[in-house]
């Protein structure tokens, strides 16, 4: 009875009190699990450490790019600050009319170009990867932005009947914000993956052809403003796509309205172009100041001597320049378009923004280091992509549009003697102050002068030195690739033009390797030593590989783990 009560009072389950063998087995399993966990953590730790270090490095606004200022309060520091302030002042004077012109050419308001330039300049200077990079609206983005804005215009795939012009503009800009956000995320991911050095693998013939196509597109799309035609929204942008679609509706409109040319407007456009081109040969400071005068004088002439000549100004075309920062959320109105068509279109333009922004900014960063003879902290391509991503994700949210590194302003910044990104910060602050003070005067600038300014930008997008360099790298074969890329970018679109150019380039490269005695290789042969050297027979390939390996080595050498040991 006692035994029965005892067993009933304390029943024993096989799982509640394991035997010695079971305890040993459980102990071994726990130890094995802990070892596996520690091994997994040990494998993941370098990746996590690298990612955290990379984020810390990228988020540091005042890094070794400011090394040329020296110690705070020293003579070197004061001299560097003065040079940066002077450069920022001149860049602001040049950037204001440029921002207005590029915004108008893209189908946006001039105020959007100015406000976006201020925010982009600040973000780029704080988060970018170059000492000398200057950020703002660029001509290469104009066809992309125009194509996005035209999607909600009559004939566009997202057009809805019965929608007012203001509502269509709001929807178009909302779609631009959405595509820019996606592009910004992709650029940030590229930066975190440290893929910035891949730009060295893009052939020069493709880059020059792409830039030439954009230059012709920009020049043709502003012909009607230079001729003084009364512009309507129907032919301002094409409803189909990027590069090639933009100028052809303009060409057809100009051809059908060739009789009533306003010769006064054409004169102002040509005078602005010639003055800007001639003044560019002077010193950087003088040419920049006189460049602003080249826009002010036509405004005075249009308001006085030629007041009754039918010259339209910025106010006639777009109204008052607003002086506010407005928040613009992403908007997606698809109309009657199918889901697959919507997704494909949005991704298409997002990738286009990534391509244009990454290639142009990375090339500008490398060009700036070369022009300045930089021997200190070199250009960091992956951090540049990080800054580009945040800039193109944030700027459109404040009533702006995508921005990038501006080649002409980067070269001007180096000529003016800037040594740190502080010049870009000063440029943004001065731009904001000038707009708040002189917005009424900016409204008087004739549209013909804006067209002349954009023609000047198109003429200077590619230099003769770049074309000669393409010829030296691959002879007439690479010149042919450049011409084909240019034509395809103009007549098809940006992505198809570059992709087709890459295919032709690959074919030319394979043929040159299989046929060593081709004319292109014969032109490269000079001395007997060069004839016996395989490297000289294919200088393009070796230079490309060396450039890519050098950029990759520099990028890996500036590992974030080591970057934090530097102090400004």
Q: pLDDT above 90 covers what percent of the chain?
A: 13
Are the C-beta atoms of residues 426 and 88 closer than 8 Å to each other? yes
Query: What pLDDT was estimated at residue 294?
Result: 66
> Is it the case that residue 274 has pLDDT exceeding 50?
yes
Q: Are 159 and 314 in contact (CB under 8 A)?
A: no
For residue 543, name the pLDDT band (cuts at 50, 70, 90). very low
404: β partners: 136
Mean pLDDT lowest for which of 15-24, 290-299, 412-421? 15-24
Provide mean pLDDT across the span 510-539: 53
Tell me how many degrees the CA angle 145-354-359 measures, rounded to the nearest 5.
105
Residue 458's nearest CA partner among 226, 258, 265 is 226
User: What is the pLDDT, as a whole number, of residue 535?
Assistant: 45
Q: What is the dihedral of CA 5, 6, 10, 15, to 10 degrees?
A: -110
In terms of pLDDT, which residue wins out, 68 or 462? 68
| Integer Cα distance of 507 and 284 in angstroms | 43
Which two structure tokens, joined as six digits, stand for 560? Answer: 């974030």
| CB-based contact 253:229 (threshold 8 Å) | yes
pLDDT digit string, tens, across residues 217-262: 778 877 777 777 765 443 344 433 333 344 444 455 555 555 577 7
Where does 342-447 show beta strands of DSSP type E? 404-405
Please report whether residue 50 resides in a domain: no
CA 141 to each of CA 68, 102, 145, 521: distance values in angstroms, whole numbers, following the listed order: 32, 9, 6, 37
Q: What letter does residue 446 receive in the DSSP assignment?
A: B
State phi, psi for 405 to the nearest 5 degrees.
-75, 130
- With a cut of 60, say whether residue 533 has pLDDT above it: no
More confident residue, 333 or 394: 394
Residue 163 maps to a domain: yes
Provide the pLDDT for residue 230: 61
Identify the residue with better confidence: 529 or 376: 376
Write the burial class of residue 45 (CB in 10 Å: 0-12 exposed, 13-18 middle, 19+ buried): exposed
What's the confidence (pLDDT) of residue 8?
Answer: 43
Measured between alpha carbons, how far is 71 from 69 in angstroms, rounded to an integer?
7
Among candidate residues 85, 137, 129, the one with its CA nearest the CA of residue 419: 85
Establish if 382 belongs to a structural domain.
Answer: yes
Asked if the structure places residue 404 within a domain, the reply is yes
The answer to whether 395 touches 119, Cβ cutoff 8 Å, is yes
Tell me the Cα Rg of the chain.
Answer: 29
- Mean confidence (pLDDT) of the chain: 75
DSSP conformational letter for 240: S
pLDDT in tens, 119-134: 999 999 999 989 999 8
- Give the single-character DSSP code of 379: P
* Predicted pLDDT of residue 10: 44
Q: Residue 179's pLDDT is what?
A: 96
pLDDT > 90? residue 394: yes
Report the alpha-carbon distance of residue 461 to residue 339 in Å, rounded. 38
Cα 551 to Cα 50: distance, rounded to the nearest angstrom = 20
pLDDT of residue 176: 94
Q: Across residues 103-124, what is the average pLDDT?
A: 88
Instruction: Average the pLDDT over each of 4-8, 75-79, 254-258, 405-409 and give the range with the smallest value.
Output: 4-8
- HSE toward the beta carbon, residue 508, CA cutoff 13 A: 26
pLDDT score for 123:
92
| pLDDT score recorded for residue 204 | 79
Pairing assessment for the beta strands 404-405 and 135-136 based on DSSP bridges: antiparallel
Q: How many residues does the chain have?
A: 568
pLDDT number for residue 231: 53
Residue, of 317 and 232, whose pLDDT is higher:
317
Region 168-173 average pLDDT:
90
Q: Both ends of the chain: CA-CA distance in Å?
A: 87
pLDDT band of residue 539 (cuts 50, 70, 90) is very low
pLDDT at residue 426, rounded to an integer? 92
Q: Percentage of the chain with pLDDT > 70?
A: 71
Domain count, the chain: 1
Helix (H, G, I), strand (E, B) or coil at 136: strand
Torsion sign, CA atoms 547, 553, 559, 562:
negative
Tokens standing for residue 437: 């003070």
Within-domain flag for 69: yes
SS3 content of the chain, % helix, strand, coil (to 5): 70, 0, 30
**What is the per-residue pLDDT across 24-79, written as a single tens digit (0 to 9) for each?**
655 565 566 556 645 554 554 565 667 788 888 888 888 888 888 888 888 888 88
Q: Is position 374 within any domain?
A: yes
pLDDT band (50, 70, 90) for residue 391? very high
Give the integer Cα–Cα distance in Å for 146 and 349: 11
Could you tell me if residue 358 is inside a domain?
yes
Residue 319 scores a pLDDT above 70: no
Question: What is the predicted pLDDT for the residue at 531?
Answer: 46
Task: Specify the higher pLDDT residue, 318 or 532.
Answer: 318
Q: Is residue 380 part of a domain?
A: yes
Please count the helices (runs of H) and the strands (runs of E) in the chain: 25, 2
For residue 459, what pLDDT band results from cuts at 50, 70 and 90?
confident
The reported pLDDT for the residue numbered 323 is 60
Output the CA–CA distances (angstroms, integers) from residue 551 to 55, 92, 132, 393, 456, in the order listed: 21, 32, 18, 26, 32
Q: Mean per-residue pLDDT for 333-343?
A: 86
Instruction: Tell me the β-bridge partners of 446.
Output: 313
Tokens representing residue 188 in the block: 């940030």
Confidence band, pLDDT 50/70/90 cuts, at residue 292: low
E-state strands within 392-550: 404-405
Residue 329 backbone phi and psi in degrees, to 5: -75, 160
Instruction: Please report how many Cα atoms fall inside a 13 Å half-sphere around the Cα of residue 35, on the Cβ side.
Output: 6
- 202-216 pLDDT, tens per residue? 787 887 887 788 778
d(CA 555, CA 442): 43
Q: Which domain holds residue 259?
A: 65-462
């Amino acid at each position: 009875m006692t035994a029965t009560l005892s067993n009933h009072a304390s029943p024993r389950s096989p799982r509640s009190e394991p035997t010695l063998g079971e305890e040993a087995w459980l102990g071994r399993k726990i130890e094995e699990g802990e070892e596996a966990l520690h091994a997994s953590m040990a494998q993941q730790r370098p990746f996590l450490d690298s990612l955290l270090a990379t984020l810390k490095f990228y988020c540091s606004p005042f890094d070794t790019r400011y090394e040329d200022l020296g110690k705070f309060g020293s003579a070197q520091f004061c001299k560097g600050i003065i040079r940066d302030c002077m450069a920022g002042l001149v860049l602001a004077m040049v950037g204001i009319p440029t921002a207005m012109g590029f915004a108008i050419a893209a189908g946006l308001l001039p105020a959007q170009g100015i406000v976006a330039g201020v925010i982009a300049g600040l973000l780029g200077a704080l988060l970018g990867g170059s000492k000398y990079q200057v950020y703002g609206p660029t001509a290469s983005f104009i066809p992309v932005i125009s194509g996005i804005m035209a999607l909600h215009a009559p004939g566009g795939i997202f057009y809805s009947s019965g929608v007012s012009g203001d509502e269509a503009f709001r929807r178009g800009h909302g779609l631009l914000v959405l595509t820019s956000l996606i592009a910004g995320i992709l650029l940030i991911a590229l930066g975190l993956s440290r893929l910035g050095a891949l730009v060295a693998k893009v052939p020069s013939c493709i880059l020059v052809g792409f830039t030439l196509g954009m230059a012709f597109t920009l020049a043709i799309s502003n012909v009607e403003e230079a001729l003084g035609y009364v512009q309507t929204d129907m032919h301002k942008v094409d409803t189909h796509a990027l590069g090639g679609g933009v100028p052809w509706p303009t060409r057809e409109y100009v051809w059908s309205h060739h009789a009533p040319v306003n010769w006064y407007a054409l004169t102002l456009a040509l005078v602005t172009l010639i003055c800007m081109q001639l003044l560019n040969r002077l010193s950087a400071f003088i040419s920049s100041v006189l460049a602003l005068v080249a826009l002010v004088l036509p405004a005075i002439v249009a308001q006085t001597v030629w007041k009754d000549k039918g010259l339209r100004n910025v106010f006639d075309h777009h109204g008052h320049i607003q002086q506010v920062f407005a928040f613009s959320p992403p908007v997606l109105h698809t109309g009657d378009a199918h889901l697959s068509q919507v997704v494909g279109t949005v991704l298409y333009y997002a990738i286009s923004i990534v391509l244009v922004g990454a290639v142009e900014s990375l090339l500008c960063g490398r060009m700036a280091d070369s022009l300045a003879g930089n021997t200190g902290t070199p250009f960091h391509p992956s951090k540049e992509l990080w800054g580009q991503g945040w800039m193109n994700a944030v700027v459109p949210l404040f009533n702006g549009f995508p921005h990038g590194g501006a080649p002409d302003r980067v070269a001007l910044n180096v000529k003016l003697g800037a040594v740190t990104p502080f010049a870009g910060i000063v440029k943004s602050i001065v731009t904001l102050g000038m707009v708040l003070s002189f917005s009424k005067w900016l409204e008087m600038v004739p549209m013909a002068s804006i067209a002349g300014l954009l023609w000047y930008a198109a003429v200077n997008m590619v230099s003769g030195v770049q074309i000669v360099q393409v010829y030296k790298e691959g002879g007439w074969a690479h010149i042919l690739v450049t011409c084909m890329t240019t034509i395809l970018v103009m007549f098809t679109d940006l992505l198809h033009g570059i992709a087709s150019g890459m295919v032709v380039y690959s074919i030319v490269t394979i043929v040159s390797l299989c046929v060593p005695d081709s004319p292109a290789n014969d032109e490269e042969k000079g001395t007997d030593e060069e004839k016996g050297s395989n490297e000289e027979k294919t200088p393009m390939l070796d230079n490309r590989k060396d450039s890519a390996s050098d950029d990759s080595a520099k990028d890996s050498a500036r590992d974030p783990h080591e970057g934090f040991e530097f102090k400004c």
